[in-house]
Amino acid sequence: MLTAHALGALEPEEARGLDAHLATCAECRAEFDGWSETAAALAYSVPQAEPSANLRARILQNARTQGQLAVSSKSEDNVAVVNDGVASEGGATRNASSTSTIASPSSTNVLPFAPPAKRRWSAPAIFGALAAGLAFAALVVSIFVIWQRNNRMHTEMASLQERLNQTQGELARVREQQSPLVSPESQSALLAGTKVAPRAHAMLAFDKKTGRAMLLAYDLPPAPAGKAYQLWFIADGHVMPGGVFTPDARGHAEVRDQMPAEGLKAPSAIFAVTLEPAGGVVAPTGDKYLLSQTS
């Protein structure tokens, strides 16, 4: 009965009985409050419509017409009753006087309306209204659930799109970083270990167009404290410093650098790795650990 009560579809006695129960049952009261809020929200789901300009005048005119017809009909019935009564008694003078009094009703601005007939609900009507209310409430709940799912889907899609954009950005950065290895303009050189590091080896790739370079070194000895390895570009006898790096515990290092423009212009270049002070130097001072022959 809660949904029917929220829609105002209960008889007064049923409504009073249910209100008495709601006053003592917190669970039913909470559920009824929820249905009441749902029923109140229905008013906002209907499109608003403006009444026509002549609606008020038309209603007033209909009311006046019905009032005049009701007054005229009642006066005629009263005249007929009085005439019958006077005729039965034989009082002609009294009949004329009474007829004149009743037949001339005083003018009034009060319009009589018939009292509304009391609505009686039959058992099928009550069950029909209750079923309709339950069906409508179920429809409202279903719409609300679908609306919540739709909002969650939009939120999840926005999150997935954001993660996709981040992934694409990361892939773009990886491609840019790996461009010396995969570019059509790339060239590479192998660096072999010298007598101070016979197991060490490396590969250096660089993009002939952009100058981006990447060194992949393996099995380098650990750098002593205060020391680091430094990459060198050698072109036409001119030695140019590159990046400073320290290998991991396995002797592996991955170095990204920019090859000098002079090295790009030279027909051939040599690459070397030496052990230098940790801050790097402008000219090699330590032993060579890796050395290439030609690019």
The per-residue pLDDT for range 201-226, each reduced to its tens digit, is 999 988 888 888 999 999 999 999 99
Mean pLDDT score across all residues of the chain = 79
Q: Which pLDDT does position 127 carry in this prediction?
A: 73
Task: State the pLDDT confidence band at 100, using cuts at 50, 70 and 90.
Answer: very low
Task: State the pLDDT confidence band at 181, using cuts at 50, 70 and 90.
Answer: low
Top-confidence residue, 264 or 13: 13
Estimate the crossing angle of helix 123-182 against helix 26-41, to 10 degrees: 80
CA-to-CA dists, residue 154 to 145, 157, 158, 159, angstroms: 14, 5, 6, 9
Cα separation of 181 and 188, whole Å? 8
Cα separation of 240 and 283, whole Å? 8
pLDDT (tens digit per residue) in 233-283: 998 888 999 999 999 999 999 999 998 888 787 778 899 999 999 999 999
Task: State the pLDDT confidence band at 295, using cuts at 50, 70 and 90.
Answer: very low
Q: Which pLDDT does position 197 carry in this prediction?
A: 94
The alpha carbon of 123 is separated from its chain's Cα centroid by a whole number of angstroms, namely: 46
Strands 253-258 and 212-218, sheet pairing: antiparallel
State both tokens at 49: 């419509």
Q: Which pLDDT does position 254 carry in this prediction?
A: 92
**Cα dihedral 124, 130, 132, 135 sign:** negative
Task: State the pLDDT confidence band at 97, using cuts at 50, 70 and 90.
Answer: very low
The arithmetic mean of pLDDT across residues 6-19, rounded, is 87
Strands 186-193 and 212-218, sheet pairing: unpaired
Cα of first residue to Cα of last residue in the chain, in angstroms, is: 89
pLDDT at 285 exceeding the cut of 50 = yes
The arithmetic mean of pLDDT across residues 12-18, rounded, is 89
pLDDT at 84 exceeding the cut of 80 = no
Q: Which pLDDT does position 96 carry in this prediction?
A: 42
Q: Which pLDDT does position 145 carry in this prediction?
A: 86
* Dihedral pair phi/psi, residue 185, rounded to 5°: -90, 5
CA angle centred on 262, ends 261 and 267, rounded to 5°: 110
Top-confidence residue, 167 or 20: 20
pLDDT at 163 exceeding the cut of 50 = yes
Least confident of 27-41, 71-85, 129-143: 71-85
The arithmetic mean of pLDDT across residues 108-112, rounded, is 58
Strand partners, 212: 258
**CB pairs under 8 A, 24+ apart, for 59-67?**
63/111, 64/111, 66/111, 66/113, 67/111, 67/112, 67/113
Task: State the pLDDT confidence band at 101, using cuts at 50, 70 and 90.
Answer: very low
Per-position DSSP letters for 121-186, written without gaps between them:
--HHHHHHHHHHHHHHHHHHHHHHHHHHHHHHHHHHHHHHHHHHHHHHHHHHHHHHHHHHHH-TTE
Cα separation of 177 and 11, whole Å? 78
State both tokens at 14: 């049923």
pLDDT (tens digit per residue) in 182-193: 566 678 889 999
Top-confidence residue, 105 or 289: 289
Q: Which residues contact 226 (CB under 8 A, 6 or more apart)?
A: 277, 278
Q: Which pLDDT does position 78 carry in this prediction?
A: 58
The arithmetic mean of pLDDT across residues 133-145, rounded, is 85
